[in-house]
Amino acid sequence: MNKLVKLMALSLIMYFNTSAKDYIIMSPNKKNMIKISVDKKISWSVFRNNQSLIANSPMSMSLGNGQKLGASPEVLKTEMKKIDRIITAIVPVRNKYIPEVYNEIIMMMKGNYSLEFRAYNDGVAYRFVTAFGKQFIDIKDEEVTFNFSNDCQVYLPKEDNPELQSHYEAEFQPLNLKDISSKTYGYLPLYISSPTGVKMVVTESDLEDYPNLFLFGTGNNILKGKFPKVILKSKIKDNSDRNEEVVEKADYHAKTMGNRTFPWRAIVIGSSDKELLESELVYKLAKPNVLKETAWIKPGKVAWDWWNDNNIYGVNFKSGINTDTYKYYIDFASDYGLEYIILDEGWSRTTTDLMEPNPQLDLQELVRYATRKKVGVILWALWKPLDQNMEGILDQYVKWGIKGVKVDFMARADQYMVNFYKRVAEATARHKLLLDLHGAYKPVGLNRQYPNVVNYEGVKGMEQNKWEASVTPVHNTTLPFTRMVAGPMDFTPGAMLNSNKDEFHINFHSPMSRGTRAHQAAMYVVYDSPLQMLCDNPSNYRAEPIYTRYISRFPTVWDKTIALEGKIGEYVVVARKKGKSWYLGGMTDWTARTFQVPLDFLDKGKYKIEILKDGINVDKHAADYRITVSNVNSGEVLSLDMAAGGGYTAILTLAN
């Protein structure tokens, strides 16, 4: 059957099974279905295996000129598409080759706008498209509603800022929909579990020249969207270099071009939690790569200074933000095959002068030394000073030989900040610099359009162990099913001081993790992170060279990802492939667990398997681990056991 016949057949299926004002589109595997109803309003409903997930949920967009898209709608014509192709990822976060398979309906409406709906095997999405010419339009409001068919469980990253600004570092708290009041809201991505066990993650993609979406409760099964308004005037708070307050804001949330596509409102859908681990819906919905040259983009592992407070020891110099200390980091990175070091806050003379190094640092000598050792240097930068002199600062970094920039403390989600992300992504790409976005909102696909955007924070990560105790194994096994569904996250694993459940204590200068050493090691397989940190003190790593050599072997990008086990807040087990080798990673909450894992995903042959698992005395000493080496064959069953708060990793290489 040729493509034209297939398209006609699909169109016939749609119309013969719908009424005059209803349109139906199904995913290629027939599991996910969207019904679009056109009456006094436009609304959509979402089904999984004929089970209602989202009941009629209206959508509209109110413009500054009084026009309301979606009110009294009239469909002029529709167009159906059936897409089946492969995306080759420039920076493969989960998979190098990503199947892009979906059915789409485009509805051209009276009033110079249209709506696009897509049904994928792993989710659904819609967006507005306008055709008002080249003039600017004000978006006063966009009606985004999710009317869930039942009272579902939600993992809410709760916020309370009245301006809808956020560091995106909240804890995901399990609640029922009906318990979320109209004054309570959270940011995306938002995990939802239906009473029948269908798993959903609500998020957005292709966010350009438009603010982030936040969802408010209603005290029932409905979540409603709101957006931060355009900031007309803001000021830095007294005695701060980064904390802003809004002085004046507009009555609209975007002023934008009349001809454009708007962000995708997306729902990742799976029959189980583990299916969420394989979805790349946000990436698929994003704009394709725009960079002509990408060979210079090199993901990798990073020796990081800030978390361990430069607290190195056993050396003959005073540790701190100085040349000798960072040469020590460079030597460590070189000895263990790490591609980069970061000079975090403190490397510059002041946090607002990003072109003048700290007088204790000979930056050019450090870059020369690092280059000789084949280690790249990445610099930290506050976003606002960078925004004020982006070209000048980036030009200087290139002259110094810097390889990337970690931009920090945006903590905003409005239209201006979204545009800043794109400007800095484009500018760093033009200067052939990697970009790591911290103090950032969640990934929305910018890393596909600009693959030099190698990581995002936007997560309650390891750094918070320096001042609180909430980053637990429960939290760590929640993140893969919530925040990580949107894209890569700079959680910064690698703690060498580890604690069991009741042993943790706060120490800013020598911080520790909650959970076992093997739990930390597993993050290098489980967590998506093309620019992956080794957060701890190089002196601690050097004291345990066998362990450090082991974790330094993990890739940061992958050819293939397979979810093996998963339940939010309890456990996660994944397999990853890079080249001819496979890697296993498992993490558990405070409950010890054992899984029987069939190795049927392996290519045929005998493999050498190097396992790092919790040690026999890990209940007394959380850093206790054991490494074993043996052989296995494809198809064998591997017993994967983890202690309370524990983890498991394995490196499988084809045996000679």
DSSP one-letter string for 72-117: S--EEEEEEEEEEEEEE-SS-SS-SEEEEEEEEEEEEETTTEEEEE
Residue at 546 is within a domain: no
Q: End-to-end CA distance of the chain, in Å?
A: 46
Q: Provide the pLDDT confidence category of residue 605 given band limits of 50, 70 and 90.
A: very high
pLDDT digits (tens, 9 = 90+) for 242-290: 999 999 999 999 999 999 999 999 999 999 999 999 999 999 999 999 9
Confidence of residue 566 (pLDDT cuts 50, 70, 90): very high
Query: Which of these three, 252, 285, 318, is where a domain ends?
Result: 285
Dihedral (CA of 84, 89, 95, 96) sign: positive
Main-chain dihedrals φ then ψ at residue 481, nearest 5 degrees: -100, 0
Burial class (CB in 10 A: 0-12, 13-18, 19+), 56: middle
The answer to whether residue 645 is domain-embedded is yes
CATH number at residue 252: 2.70.98.10
Give me the DSSP letters along 522-543: HHHHHS--SEEEE-S-HHHHHH
| In the predicted structure, residue 583 carries a pLDDT above the cut 70 | yes
Question: Which of 285, 310, 331 lies at the terminal end of a domain, its last residue?
Answer: 285
| Domain boundary, last residue among 246, 264, 285 | 285
pLDDT digits (tens, 9 = 90+) for 441-495: 999 999 999 999 999 999 999 999 999 999 999 999 999 999 999 999 999 999 9
**How confident is the model at residue 4, as a pLDDT?**
35
What's residue 10's pLDDT? 45
- What pLDDT shows up at residue 561? 98
396 within domain boundaries = no
Residue 14 is predicted with a pLDDT of 47
CA–CA separation, 459 vs 474, rounded Å? 15
- Say if strands 214-216 and 185-187 run parallel, antiparallel, or are unpaired: antiparallel
Instruction: Confirm whether pTM is higher than 0.75.
Output: yes
407, part of any domain:
no
Contact 610, 649 (CB under 8 A): no
> For the segment 37-86, what is each residue's pLDDT rounded down to a tens digit?
999 999 999 999 999 999 999 999 999 999 999 999 999 999 999 999 99
- pLDDT higher than 80, residue 6: no
List pLDDT tens digits, range 351-399. 999 999 999 999 999 999 999 999 999 999 999 999 999 999 999 999 9
pLDDT of res. 239: 85
The enclosing domain of 577 has a CATH number of 2.60.40.1180
Instruction: Measure the CA–CA gap between 171 and 470, rounded to whole angstroms.
Output: 8
Q: How many domains does the chain have?
A: 2
Span 627-637, average pLDDT = 97
Mean pLDDT of 196-216: 98
Q: What's the pLDDT score for residue 7?
A: 41
On the question of pLDDT at 329 being above 70, the answer is yes
On the CB side of 409, how many CA atoms lie within 13 Å of its CA?
Answer: 18
Q: What is the pLDDT of residue 25?
A: 98
- Tell me how far CA of residue 432 lies from CA of 326, 349, 519, in angstroms: 23, 25, 35
Query: What is the average pLDDT across 313-318?
Result: 97
Residue 248 lies in a domain: yes
- Residue 463 annotated in active site: yes
In a domain, 366, yes or no: no
The pLDDT mean for the chain works out to 96
Print the domain residue range for 84. 3-285
pLDDT at residue 407 above 80? yes
Q: What is the pLDDT of residue 236?
A: 87
> Looking at residues 294-309, what average pLDDT do you find?
98
Catalytic residue among 116, 463, 589, 614: 463
Strand (E) or helix (H) holding 653: strand 647-654
Task: Judge whether 552 lies within some domain.
Answer: no
Number of residues that make up the chain: 656
The verdict on residue 378 lying in a domain is no
Is 408 a catalytic site residue? yes
Average pLDDT of the residues in 161-165: 94
